[in-house]
Amino acid sequence: RKEVEQDPGPFNVPEGATVAFNCTYSNSASQSFFWYRQDCRKEPKLLMSVYSSGNEDGRFTAQLNRASQYISLLIRDSKLSDSATYLCVVNPWDSNSGYALNFGKGTSLLVTP
């Protein structure tokens, strides 16, 4: 079983729509949680960290539920430029792999005019 699971999509939404992505993880020892964004043929870039209290950055809101081992990302008022693959990432620590990131396979978002 993969440690981080996401719905691959694609999610096709019109500009201005609100879209939500979900992710579950299996390793309860995971300490840090992130959403990364990856554009086609580009490297992943950190979008935002995810905290238990929930956090917001402009149009983006991330939530973490440790009890359910569930992470979400909400994008409001979506823009064409939001089209990308969104990667759910968890970050357990161990002495052998440090803070190596465990990535989900990503959820593809296409925002259309």
Partner 1 sequence: GAGVSQSPSNKVTEKGKDVELRCDPISGHTALYWYRQSLGQGLEFLIYFQGNSAPDKSGLPSDRFSAERTGGSVSTLTIQRTQQEDSAVYLCASSSRDRPYEQYFGPGTRLTVT
DSSP states along the chain: --SEEE----EEEETT--EEEEEEE--TT--EEEEEEE-TTS--EEEEE--TT-EEETTEEEEEETTTTEEEEEE-S--GGG-EEEEEEEE--BTTTBT--EE---EEEEEE-
Q: How far is the CB of 96 from partner 1 (least distance, A)?
A: 3
Confirm or reject binding of residue 98 to partner 1 (CB under 8 A): yes
For partner 1, give the closer residue by CB, 30 or 78. Answer: 30
* Residues 69-88, interacting with partner 1 (CB under 8 A): 87
Binding mask 18-57 for partner 1 (x = CB under 8 A): -------------xx-x-------xxxxx--x--------
* 60, 69, 91, 110: residue in contact with partner 1 (rule CB under 8 A): 91
* The dihedral formed by the CA atoms of 21, 47, 4 and 42, expressed in degrees to the nearest 10: 110
Q: How far is the CB of 46 from partner 1 (least distance, A)?
A: 6
Residues that bind partner 1 (CB under 8 A): 2, 4, 31-32, 34, 42-46, 49, 87, 91, 93, 95-106
